[in-house]
Structure 1
């Protein structure tokens, strides 16, 4: 009977904690279900072919791949905004699934502190996304032979026509980084963390959207795959570090690859935009044809990439300096503690000897005075 009362009391307690409908707490707790309902409205539209998912196919262009084979290619358009919004909803749902069924279960077992808890969740979510995006992006690069023939990065610009996989990749990338904005609210992100997260979300959105709109999708894809691989290594290293703080080899490998990644990004950007497009025949600005190969656009693109790489290197150097400083402080503290410990041991030993011999004992002092 006592067990039943405790369970009923538990149930009653739980029901009283239910937040009022449409309150902030209610929306945060049930945001995945609410978003799923909105996504279902879009999917119902498939039955009537008015869904934004169909808008991905609304800009279809047929290209002949051989004698009797046809290859479907796509170009970007205003309808993509609705498709990006739909996949933003999908990203929110996937985020909630990973959080509830994977990360929360690990958190309960490990009993992390509040700071470690939020960092673990961030690294867990980003590791899943970077792994998926890196794998998918690499498969597109291999199938389109961009790596084996780097000249294709600028040859034949503007690259207005894209294979389905490439267009879908950019749509999903934009959807994911847009979903990160409402997630700041859903995940109750600390006020001091919001500016940092807003900066890197904005950088991702500007660079991905810029590459997509300016028809620099091939260069954008190569740089994204490179960047995602390095970021994946960092977040996996951080997850390993949280499970065992002695394992820090991953950070060292990441530090080397981070610097090499910045140099490779700058080299590819200068090679493609600075030399490749600058020497191309079709110079000029033509919005309808998707040609943005003018000096102003080229300088703007290179300036944006160079400034971002410089900003990342500055953040990286500060991060490394802080780590070295913390490591040096820890070492000095250890050195200070070692002699003090040994000294205290000696004192204890002397004290024990004194008591045993009775040299400084109260009884001996009394005897001396008498």
Structure 2
């Protein structure tokens, strides 16, 4: 991180220099934007990077309310928080995860997975708390009908728009982090697929004005992911703690059922009741018009159901394989324990034991010998 001592210097503009100093470069760019706020000439430009744009005054019964909608200037704001995400990623890695890794002495593969889960725990925990605060204060949980009433939801509160911009910035920053963290080639396709799915879903909810539904779905998804990565961290510290994955399995199934129910409730039953079914460019519902079309809406719902079914199938297949391995290990341990506990006394067909002395059937002992039992 910035202003720390380095054990080895690398040539300027080399790949190693960029990898080891990417957080410092991002810190300098963020600092330059913050310094620009101090001068009147550059303050207006700096505010484009820091604050969400496209604010409008919406008349309400109590007066006027400042709300926001999306536009091309959001790219500039996302870029600023993109560099902030890189800085925070480096802080968590160096000052928390690296110190823990030095004590655990993990292998290379486990070291990489531990870092991945550690970063995900920090991000998912922050996102769950933040997202829960937003949906509670905006009343989306107490009033589920607000998820589809007055659709399209073109105007957003400040905290909703800022949350979506930060989410997009974080998942975009995860792409260059694959290079900065030197992720193994075998892991890159899986992580790229995960990042792409998050970006498509978050950007889709933001552009199609489904931000309220997207907040609830992100809360459920991040909650399940939080339990998964916490279980992985506990398992890496002590491999005997395999039962922690059972708690994640329960949370995963429950969240997926809630996710599928919300999709059917909002897209299948809620949106068809919206009165505004016409295309109106002045109100900003160019993308929302597609969801007012029954063919498009049913196609989206079908794709969502198929995707959730494939996720559940992979989860069930993984759990069955995991339980099969677990029971095979348990049965092999029982067989090994039973074999060690068996006593094998020294005995001949022509005699028997009496007080540790071998005797024949007529009571005469051919020789006196003590038998040692194992």
Query: Structure 1 length as normaliser, TM-score?
Result: 0.83
Instruction: State which of 47, 50, 59 in structure 1 corresponds to 2:54.
Output: 59
Structure 2: which 5+ residue stretches go unaligned?
347-374
Of 235-244 and 95-104, deviating more is 235-244
**Does structure 1 retain, via aligned residues, the 8 Å contact 2:234–2:241?**
yes
- Preserved contact between residue 88 and residue 176 of structure 1 (Cα < 8 Å): yes
In the alignment, the residues of structure 2 paired with residue 311 and residue 40 of structure 1 have an alpha-carbon distance, to the nearest angstrom, of 45
Query: Is it true that 1:243 corresponds to 2:200 in the alignment?
Result: no
Q: Match of 1:139? A: 133
The alignment status of 1:35 with 2:35, answered yes or no, reads no
List aligned pairs for 1:155-234, cutoff 5 A. 155-234=149-228
Rounded Cα–Cα distance in structure 2 between residues aligned with 1:221 and 1:136: 10
**Structure 1 unaligned runs (5+)?**
1-10, 349-370
Give distance in 2, aligned partners of 1:239 and 1:204: 22
How far has the Cα of 1:19 moved from its partner?
2.7
Q: Distance in 2 between matches of 1:324 and 1:339?
A: 22
- Equivalences, count: 334
Given that residues 170 and 208 in structure 1 are in contact (C-alpha distance below 8 angstroms), is that contact kept between their aligned partners in structure 2?
A: yes
In 2, are the aligned partners of 1:73 and 1:163 still within 8 Å (CA)?
yes
Q: Deviations over 1:289-308 (max 9, x none)?
A: 22322224423432443233
From 95, 98, 115, the counterpart of 1:101: 95
Q: Point out the more displaced range, 288-297 or 113-122.
A: 288-297
Partner Cα separation in structure 2 for residue 53 and residue 280 of structure 1: 35
Q: TM-score, normalised by structure 2?
A: 0.82
| 302-311 vs 259-268, greater mean Cα deviation | 302-311
- Please say if 1:90 is aligned against 2:84: yes
- Tell me: CA distance 1:18–1:171, structure 2 relative to 1, closer, same or farther (3 Å): same
- Output one character per residue of 1:60-102: Cα deviation in whole Å (capped at 9) or x when no partner: 11124554x5421001111111111211111111000000000
1:24 to 2:15 alignment: yes
Give every structure 1 segment of 4 or more consecutive aligned residues whose post-TM-superposition deviation is greater than 6 Å. none
Q: What's the C-alpha RMSD, in Å, of the aligned pairs?
A: 2.5
* Residue 198 of structure 1: how far off its partner (Å): 0.7
Greater percentage in helix: 1
Q: CA deviation at 1:340?
A: 5.5
Q: 1:127 aligns with which of 115, 121, 129?
A: 121
SS at match of 2:190: helix
Distance 1:153 1:30 in 2: 44
CA distance in 2, matches of 1:107, 1:139: 33
